[in-house]
Structure 1
Amino acid sequence: MKKHLIAITLIVLLIIAGAIFYFARGDTAKLAAGADTGREPVFTSPRSEIFPTINVAKAVRWQANEKPVPAKGLTVARFAEGLAHPRSMLALPNGDILVAETNSPPRPAEGIVDRIMTYLMDKAGAGVPSANRITLLRDADGDGRAEMRTAFLTGLNSPYGMALVGDTLYVANTDALLAFPYKAGETRITAKGRKILNLPAQAPNQHWTKSLAAGPSGLLYVGVGSNSNIAENGMDKEANRAAVLEVNPKTGDYRIFASGLRNPVGLAFEPNSGALWGVVNERDMLGSDLVPDYLTRIEFGGFYGWPWNYWGGYEDRRVQPQRPEVREYTKRPDYALGNHVAPLGLTFAAKVKLGAPFQNGAFVGLHGSWNRKPAAGYKVVFVPFASNGEASRAKPVDVLTGFLDADGNARGRPVDVTADAKGALLVTDDVGGIVWRVASAR
Structure 2
Amino acid sequence: MKKHLIALTLIVLAVLGGALFYFSRGDTAQLPDGADVGKEPVFTAPRSEMIPTMNVADAVPWKAGERPVPARGLRVDRFADGLDHPRSLLRLPNGDVLVAETNSPTRPTGGITNRVMNYLMDKAGAGMPSPNRITLLRDADGDGRAETKTAFLTGLNSPYGMALIGDTLYVANTDALMAFPYKEGETRITGKGRKILNLPAQAPNMHWTRSLVASPQGLLYVGVGSNSNIGENDLETEANRAAVLEVNPRTGDYRIYASGLRNPVGLAFEPKSGALWGVVNERDMLGSDLVPDYLTRVEFGAFYGWPWNYWGGYEDRRVQPQRPEVREYTKRPDYALGNHVAPLGLAFADKVTLGAPYANGAFVGLHGSWNRKPAAGYKLVFVPFADNGEAGGETGKAKPVDVLTGFLDAKGEARGRPVDVTADAKGALLVSDDVGNVVWRVTAAK
Q: Same fold (TM over 0.5)?
A: yes
Distance 1:411 1:287 in 2: 26
Distance 2:377 2:314 in 1: 23
Distance 2:149 2:279 in 1: 29
Tell me the equivalent position of 2:434. 430
Alignment of 1:141-290 (within 5 A): 141-290=141-290
**Residues 148/21 of structure 1: CA separation in 2 closer, same or farther (3 Å cut):** closer
Q: Deviations over 1:363-383 (max 9, x none)?
A: 000000011000000000000
Distance 1:434 1:205 in 2: 27
Secondary structure of the residue that 2:357 maps to in structure 1?
A: coil
Distance 1:142 1:60 in 2: 31
* Displacement of 1:109: 1.8
Distance 1:114 1:389 in 2: 43
Secondary structure of the residue that 2:312 maps to in structure 1?
A: coil
* Displacement of 1:113: 3.3
Is 1:402 aligned with 2:397? no
Tell me the equivalent position of 2:421. 417
Distance 1:422 1:24 in 2: 45
Equivalent residues of 1:426, 1:435 under 8 A apart? yes
Distance 1:273 1:360 in 2: 12
Secondary structure of the residue that 2:358 maps to in structure 1?
A: coil
* Displacement of 1:114: 2.3
Distance 2:378 2:95 in 1: 27
Tell me the equivalent position of 1:58. 58
Report which stretch shifted further, 141-150 or 18-27.
18-27
Alignment of 1:230-379 (within 5 A): 230-379=230-379
Give the partner amino acid of 1:274.
G
Give the partner amino acid of 1:277.
W
Equivalent residues of 1:78, 1:145 under 8 A apart? yes
Distance 1:18 1:192 in 2: 50
Secondary structure of the residue that 1:179 maps to in structure 2?
A: strand
Equivalenced residue count is 426
Equivalent residues of 1:24, 1:52 under 8 A apart? no
Equivalent residues of 2:87, 2:420 under 8 A apart? yes
Q: Deviations over 1:303-354 (max 9, x none)?
A: 0000000000000011011000000100000000000000000000000110
Secondary structure of the residue that 1:90 maps to in structure 2?
A: strand
Tell me the equivalent position of 2:99. 99
Equivalent residues of 2:23, 2:54 under 8 A apart? no
Equivalent residues of 1:334, 1:391 under 8 A apart? yes
Q: Deviations over 1:206-241 (max 9, x none)?
A: 100000000111110000000000001110010100
Tell me the equivalent position of 1:11. none
Is 1:80 aligned with 2:80? yes
Give the partner amino acid of 2:320.
Q
Equivalent residues of 2:245, 2:257 under 8 A apart? yes
Equivalent residues of 1:23, 1:50 under 8 A apart? no
* Displacement of 1:19: 11
Equivalent residues of 2:24, 2:55 under 8 A apart? no
Equivalent residues of 1:263, 1:282 under 8 A apart? yes
Tell me the equivalent position of 1:135. 135
Percentage of identical aligned residues: 83
Q: Deviations over 1:169-209 (max 9, x none)?
A: 00000100000111111111000101001000110111000
After TM superposition, the runs of 4+ consecutive aligned structure 1 residues lying more than 2 A away are: 17-24, 110-117
Unaligned runs of 5+ in 1: 1-16
**Residues 19/159 of structure 1: CA separation in 2 closer, same or farther (3 Å cut):** closer
Q: With structure 2 as the length reference, what TM-score do the two structures score? A: 0.94
Equivalent residues of 1:346, 1:416 under 8 A apart? yes
**Residues 180/50 of structure 1: CA separation in 2 closer, same or farther (3 Å cut):** same
Secondary structure of the residue that 1:328 maps to in structure 2?
A: helix
Q: With structure 1 as the length reference, what TM-score do the two structures score? A: 0.95
Tell me the equivalent position of 1:25. 25
Distance 1:22 1:81 in 2: 37
**Residues 20/80 of structure 1: CA separation in 2 closer, same or farther (3 Å cut):** closer
Secondary structure of the residue that 1:350 maps to in structure 2?
A: helix
**Residues 182/19 of structure 1: CA separation in 2 closer, same or farther (3 Å cut):** closer
Distance 1:73 1:329 in 2: 44
* Displacement of 1:21: 6.0
Unaligned runs of 5+ in 2: 1-16
* Displacement of 1:116: 3.0
Give the partner amino acid of 1:440.
A
Give the partner amino acid of 1:399.
V
Equivalent residues of 2:295, 2:333 under 8 A apart? yes
Distance 1:177 1:194 in 2: 9
